[in-house]
């Protein structure tokens, strides 16, 4: 008999999956209850769609679960599921390698899923399979049900920005991308990559990276990818997280959403992996395990960003939240008590509060002192 096909998990994949799992832990109850509210208001059937665009085999050589099993476990073990029995959860797992699809189907066949959880493994290319779904819904003049898509390609030529734009044009759609930034930077000047790069970025501006090198090249390509995401559909917020491997490769998780609540949930997921800065994971020595962080958050960078934005002019708490949303910090956790209150106590922030006001709420204004 032929040897079974095996797929080893890379060390940084563990951190990637931790971010994914943490995000879904927050996403499931929020979107599930939102779907029930929509039904109460409009009569629309409460449905949610979770897409894994490059699903893989389901389980790795060491027994570690792949992203499809993590996605399903996040739902089936969630305490909120008891209250979401009327919500239909659809999981679309797309995988182009037939051997991986067979392994995934075998893993899925061993699961005992609730009746409101529907699993659809599909062999095919992400661009073709998901693109056809989006095109069909668009052609019928209908809206895609609220969707979270995890787009984790094995390269960078199978996830064009044009498809992303069509998908994110639907309301309540969010995407988490795995971007092989080191590889993009390394091969940007190689002949034969033009079509793949132009499709990934939906722009020819990537050519500008050829004249750059090192960190400048990587930073330019990441910024361009984020800018292109912000220009798509109904995207209002983009944030990213670094995954650095033992061999020095730089990968990024890049998240796009139209809603500030989704942004907050994703930032919390990222901070769960990096409780100091919420921005990065780095493998260590020979084990591949993550660096241990001291759980002390330094909000000085957030304070500096606020000062750089407002100078000495008056601003409101709402405006401060908007600035915070453009940083790795979480407005509800890091802004008021850990940043603004400390700045006021230290005498660098003047706060004008109406009588009876004690907190940083609507009606309050503030400014930095010289």
pLDDT at 289: 47
pLDDT at residue 305 greater than cutoff 50: yes
- Summarize the confidence of residues 11-35 as an average pLDDT: 90
pLDDT at residue 318 greater than cutoff 50: yes
pLDDT at 368: 97
pLDDT at 290: 47
Q: Which of 30-44, 157-171, 325-339 has the highest mean pLDDT?
A: 325-339
- Summarize the confidence of residues 227-244 as an average pLDDT: 92
Tell me the angle at which helices 98-109 and 67-76 cross, rounded to the nearest 10 degrees: 20
Going from N- to C-terminal start, the domains of the chain cover 11-282, 300-368
Euclidean distance between CA atoms 251 and 16, whole angstroms: 10
* Long-range contacts of 33-39, Cβ-Cβ distance < 8 Å, separation of 24 or more: 33/80, 33/83, 33/84, 34/146, 34/172, 35/87, 35/146, 36/84, 36/86, 36/87, 39/86
pLDDT at 54: 92
pLDDT tier, 2 (very low <50, low <70, confident <90, very high otherwise):
very low
Read off the tokens for 231. 């220009």
**Residue 2 gets which letter from DSSP?**
P
pLDDT in tens, 326-357: 999 999 999 999 999 999 999 999 999 998 88
Euclidean distance between CA atoms 247 and 13, whole angstroms: 14
**Residue 86 gets which letter from DSSP?**
T
Euclidean distance between CA atoms 347 and 341, whole angstroms: 10
pLDDT in tens, 110-124: 999 999 999 999 999
pLDDT in tens, 143-154: 889 999 999 886
pLDDT at residue 189 greater than cutoff 50: yes
pTM (two decimals)? 0.90
What SS3 state is found at 240? strand
pLDDT at residue 156 greater than cutoff 80: no
* Residue pair 145/139 in contact by the 8 Å Cβ criterion: no
Domain 11-282: CATH class, spelled out? alpha beta
* Residue pair 320/340 in contact by the 8 Å Cβ criterion: yes
pLDDT at 164: 83
Euclidean distance between CA atoms 126 and 251, whole angstroms: 20
pLDDT at residue 292 greater than cutoff 50: no
Euclidean distance between CA atoms 117 and 140, whole angstroms: 25
């Amino acid at each position: 008999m032929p040897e079974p096909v095996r797929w080893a998990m890379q060390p940084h994949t563990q951190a990637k999956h931790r971010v994914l799992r943490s995000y879904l832990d927050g996403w499931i109850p929020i979107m599930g209850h939102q779907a029930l509210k929509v039904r109460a208001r409009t009569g629309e059937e409460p449905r949610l769609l979770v897409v894994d665009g490059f699903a893989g085999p389901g389980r790795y050589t060491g027994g570690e679960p792949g992203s499809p099993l993590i996605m399903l476990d996040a739902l089936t073990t969630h305490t909120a599921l008891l209250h979401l029995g009327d919500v239909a959860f659809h999981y679309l797992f797309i995988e182009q390698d037939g051997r991986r699809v067979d392994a995934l189907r075998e893993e899925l066949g061993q699961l005992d899923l609730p009746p409101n959880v529907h699993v659809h493994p599909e062999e095919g290319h992400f661009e073709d399979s998901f693109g056809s779904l989006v095109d069909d819904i668009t052609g019928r003049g209908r809206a895609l049900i609220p969707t979270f898509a995890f787009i984790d390609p094995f390269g960078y030529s199978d996830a064009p920005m044009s498809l992303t734009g069509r998908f994110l044009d639907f309301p309540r759609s969010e995407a988490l991308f795995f971007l092989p930034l080191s590889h993009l930077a390394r091969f940007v000047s190689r002949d034969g990559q033009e079509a793949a790069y132009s499709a990934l970025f939906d722009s020819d501006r990537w050519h500008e990276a050829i004249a750059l090198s090192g960190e400048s090249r990587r930073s330019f390509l990441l910024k361009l990818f984020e800018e292109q995401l912000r220009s798509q559909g109904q995207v209002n917020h983009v944030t990213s997280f670094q995954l650095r491997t033992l061999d020095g490769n730089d990968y990024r998780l890049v998240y796009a959403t139209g809603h500030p609540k989704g942004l907050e949930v994703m930032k919390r997921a990222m901070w769960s992996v990096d409780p100091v800065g919420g921005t990065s994971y780095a493998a260590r020595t020979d084990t591949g395990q993550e660096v241990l962080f001291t759980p002390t958050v330094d909000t000085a960078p957030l304070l500096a960003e606020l000062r750089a934005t407002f100078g000495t002019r008056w601003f409101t708490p709402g405006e401060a939240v908007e600035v915070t949303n453009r940083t790795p910090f979480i407005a509800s956790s890091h802004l008021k008590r850990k940043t603004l209150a400390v700045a006021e106590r230290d005498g660098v922030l003047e706060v004008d509060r109406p009588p009876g006001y004690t907190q940083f709420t609507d009606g309050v204004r503030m400014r930095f002192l010289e």
